[in-house]
Structure 1
Amino acid sequence: MKHSVYIFSYLFPPDYTGASIQAINLAKALRECGEKITFVTASQACYKHHSKQYEGFPVIRLKCKRENALSIIVFWSKIFWLCFAHRKKFDLIHVIGLNTLLNVIPIIGKLLNKPTLVKTTLSNEAKQFKFMESTGREHAFNYFSVKKYDKIICISSMLENEIKNLINAKGKVVYIPNGVDTKKFYPIEHNKKSKLRELFRLPINTVIFSYIGVLHKRKNLEWLIKNWLQVCLQHKNAKLLIAGPHARNTLMADGGGAEYAEYLQFYSCELGGDQKIFFLPFRKDVENYFRASDFFINPSFSEGLSNSMLESMACGNVPIVNKTSGVDDVIDEGIDGFIFDVNDEKSFQEIIVKCCSLSNEHYKQYSAAAVKKIRLKFSLDAITKQYIKLYNNICHGPNN
């Protein structure tokens, strides 16, 4: 059975978030299976909601200014009237992220007799539940409303267990991880990797570590630069590539933005990394940055399940990642990647030393294992089938 789905994502291009990009990738796969997708998002630029297009999807943008409690209520009213006016145009609502501005949706769904589901995006969303019931009206509202969703999708087993323990929502919490388009993200031969490095003006015969992702303080990039340089500053055969969008230049650019990107380059030079660390502009064909790299590093403080980690592994990178939500679901330590704790700088540095000295044979074993893991457990095709099954379940019952 095919469905018309309204996907609500508070942040949406041109404002970049990994969660919104993951939603778009899923929407493309759902569209190929015959599902009809419309995006609804917030905007500070428009003064009335109107439909636009993004990569072939209709996009409805609702003006939003989160200044005080009244502005939140105004935004909620816009969501209600949109849903009421469009109630015959959609079968269910799919929300991206647990946040106050969208948590009114499950209540609206109950009023309109429309099923709703929400996908968690960050590990701190689960932690917020610990305080929702007892710390103020906003938190109490969130705690009440989130339990009204028909399904809560957790992208890691850590999130699944935390939310199950924090709210009484038997049968509502399901585990569906992020998926990778393995038709786009896949490894290439060595000679093609060399050509990519020439294109990006990167040294060919060297070990290249990379961080490819949004440039934001939450990603802990200063820590990465400092600790990587402590090991590799004198290591001639190691370079670090950093590339990513400037996190929400126009909306909620707290901790990101172009100024932060410039600061990272200054910080790197100040530590003597001007010849060791390459800062490259963000590209839509981000897969080629992964293919030009050997190892992917993610030192982020908080994740739900890192898209970049999954995509890098699909391209054959060996991941070196901080132990955040989702990591244990993906990486088998010492088989297809390495896990560290950002509170233990020495352990991270020891991993970098080990990676710099890996034989070509051992590196290929790690790389092949990483690719195999993604193809078997995290392909977008398999994840899309899980979503379609879930849509059928909440719209027509578990036997359909």
Structure 2
Amino acid sequence: MIADTSSVSVRDAARPVRVCMLSYYYAPHYSGSAIQARNLSLHLQPRGVELFVVSANMTGSAEYELVDGIPVYRLPVVKDPSLQVPSFMLRLAMFLIRRRNSYDVIHAHGTLQHAIASPVARLLGKRSLLKVAMANSDIDFDRQGRLWGRANRYMVSRFDRYIATSRIIQDEFSRHSFANGRVYLMPNGVDTDTYRPCATRQEKSELRASLGLPDKPTVCFVGIIISRKNVDLALRAWREVRREQIDAQLVLVGPLPDRSDAGAWRYYEELLGYIEREGLKDSVIFTGFNLAVASYLRASDIFLFPSKQEGMPNALLEAMSSGLPSVASRISGTEDLIEQGSNGFMFALEDEPAFGRTLIELLRNPELTQRVGDQARRFVERSYSLRALSASYEQIYRDLIAARA
């Protein structure tokens, strides 16, 4: 559902829309919600939308600065992990009250850290919009504990409108009896100019050289190296590729876990041990945190994405926009994007052998790889361009402001 703004007066339409974007994680932090908040903001600004971002300051960064020309306010939080979110919510409420004359609409990217914004918005006479980007998490109130679950349900119910980034999340809203008239199905978007295919084989070879990669068939994974992203399944699928004596490489692009997170670091060490035992060391590359994601995707031939849980995965959108056929798990978001066998391939997580088989088939059949990748690019250009989605968001903001009036 997209908002109908036909009732907006000429005077209201001429007013600049003022938006307070909430994203608990934001640059220099790496997260899907941060990426989407940044990308959307960059496309809203040229449309005349006046906006700023509010995030948590967990790295000692500047409390205020311009990031890509976007004003960013970082609110300090306590160091104790169990108190970080409550302390952020308290400071956020105070900030929204103090800055109430600077915005008309609050746009929250994610629920758990931003829910306090809805009752504050009601108190101040502002409008609020909640984007839910993670399935079976943000509004899965039963899993959040009895007291917090009830409190979160109440605060979430106070938002004026909701964005579901996938059909599965839209169904979640329905199960929780949120009025369908207030829920918009709006996917994440992708910058199709930044994420584009290489024009020629020569260009791809030169790009690999600039990244320090061998010039050979390349399978790419993008995401933080954690258990939820299912990197261990990616490595097991890669083992099957190497057993077929296919000379190719697997490039894993994304932040490595922090040593302070014992569980995540142990998972990473287990991955390294598996690579060593299976003789994969010469064909698997970890890049660590890297800003050149678009370049790595353009330098690749196939995208591998076996994640266990997502909403609408940025990485998959970016890979498809880059003209890559994807081999992905059948979860929230991938079901909205992939048309089986046409613009990509997806399989149930339980069907592990299918991941390896499909990689082998694609690596042995460059014509199939090219055809499916071309279809993926056309699909994203048609339906998931940030340019078009930013216009839809501006429309929703204006509808909210008009409804308040």
TM-score (norm 2): 0.89
Deviations 1:91-114 (A, max 9, x none): 111111110x32111000100010
SS of equivalent residue, structure 1 residue 123: coil
Query: CA separation in 1, counterparts of 2:181 and 2:143?
Result: 23
Q: Does 1:313 align with 2:327?
A: no
After superposition, the Cα gap between the structure-2 partners of 1:192 and 1:89, relative to the gap in structure 1 and judged at 3 Å, is: same
Query: CA separation in 2, counterparts of 1:74 and 1:43?
Result: 11
Query: CA separation in 2, counterparts of 1:153 and 1:3?
Result: 18
Which residue number corresponds to residue 326 of structure 1? 333
Deviates more, 1:345-354 or 1:228-237: 228-237
Q: CA deviation at 1:347?
A: 2.0
Query: CA separation in 1, counterparts of 2:82 and 2:240?
Result: 47
One-letter amino acid matched to 1:11: Y
Which residue number corresponds to residue 134 of structure 2? 122
Which residue number corresponds to residue 380 of structure 2? 374
**Contact persistence 2:108–2:130 (CA under 8 A):** yes
Bigger relative contact order (CA 8 A; separation at least 6): 2
**Contact persistence 1:27–1:37 (CA under 8 A):** yes
**Contact persistence 1:46–1:61 (CA under 8 A):** no
After superposition, the Cα gap between the structure-2 partners of 1:64 and 1:28, relative to the gap in structure 1 and judged at 3 Å, is: same
Q: CA deviation at 1:266?
A: 4.3
SS of equivalent residue, structure 1 residue 62: strand
Q: CA deviation at 1:277?
A: 1.2
Which residue number corresponds to residue 141 of structure 1? 151
Which residue number corresponds to residue 164 of structure 1? 174
After superposition, the Cα gap between the structure-2 partners of 1:193 and 1:71, relative to the gap in structure 1 and judged at 3 Å, is: closer
Q: CA deviation at 1:208?
A: 1.4
Which residue number corresponds to residue 286 of structure 1? 293
Q: Does 1:86 align with 2:109?
A: no
One-letter amino acid matched to 2:64: S
Query: CA separation in 2, counterparts of 1:327 and 1:179?
Result: 14
Q: Does 1:107 align with 2:119?
A: yes
Equivalences for residues 299-310 of structure 1 within 5 A = 299-310=306-317
SS of equivalent residue, structure 2 residue 332: coil
Query: CA separation in 2, counterparts of 1:113 and 1:307?
Result: 33
Query: CA separation in 2, counterparts of 1:256 and 1:173?
Result: 35
Q: CA deviation at 1:196?
A: 1.2
Equivalences for residues 1-400 of structure 1 within 5 A = 1=13, 2-45=16-59, 50-65=63-78, 67=80, 74-99=87-112, 101-125=113-137, 128-131=140-143, 135-188=145-198, 189-204=200-215, 206-246=216-256, 249=258, 256=264, 264-358=271-365, 360-397=366-403
Query: CA separation in 2, counterparts of 1:122 and 1:348?
Result: 23
Q: CA deviation at 1:72?
A: 5.5
**Contact persistence 1:155–1:176 (CA under 8 A):** yes
SS of equivalent residue, structure 1 residue 88: helix
Deviations 1:182-220 (A, max 9, x none): 11111112110011122233332x321110222222101
Which residue number corresponds to residue 7 of structure 2? none
Query: CA separation in 2, counterparts of 1:221 and 1:392?
Result: 42
Deviations 1:355-375 (A, max 9, x none): 2222x3322211110110010
Of Structure 1 and Structure 2, the greater helix share is in: 2
SS of equivalent residue, structure 2 residue 349: coil
SS of equivalent residue, structure 2 residue 304: strand
Which segments of structure 1 move beyond 6 Å, counting only runs of 4 or more? 68-71
Deviations 1:280-313 (A, max 9, x none): 2443231110111111011111111111111111
Query: CA separation in 2, counterparts of 1:73 and 1:238?
Result: 47
Query: CA separation in 2, counterparts of 1:309 and 1:345?
Result: 19
Deviations 1:338-393 (A, max 9, x none): 001221112222222222222x3322211110110010011110111110111111
After superposition, the Cα gap between the structure-2 partners of 1:325 and 1:282, relative to the gap in structure 1 and judged at 3 Å, is: same
Q: CA deviation at 1:260?
A: 5.8
Query: CA separation in 1, counterparts of 2:385 and 2:220?
Result: 22
**Contact persistence 2:57–2:63 (CA under 8 A):** no
Deviates more, 1:376-385 or 1:9-18: 9-18
Structure 2 unaligned regions, length at least 5: 1-12
Structure 1 unaligned regions, length at least 5: none
After superposition, the Cα gap between the structure-2 partners of 1:195 and 1:255, relative to the gap in structure 1 and judged at 3 Å, is: farther
Q: Say what the alpha-carbon RMSD is for the aligned residues.
A: 2.5
TM-score (norm 1): 0.90
Q: CA deviation at 1:60?
A: 1.3
One-letter amino acid matched to 1:8: L
SS of equivalent residue, structure 2 residue 328: strand
One-letter amino acid matched to 1:110: R
After superposition, the Cα gap between the structure-2 partners of 1:277 and 1:72, relative to the gap in structure 1 and judged at 3 Å, is: closer
Query: CA separation in 2, counterparts of 1:283 and 1:70?
Result: 30
Deviations 1:131-181 (A, max 9, x none): 46xx42111100111011111101111111121222333411111111111
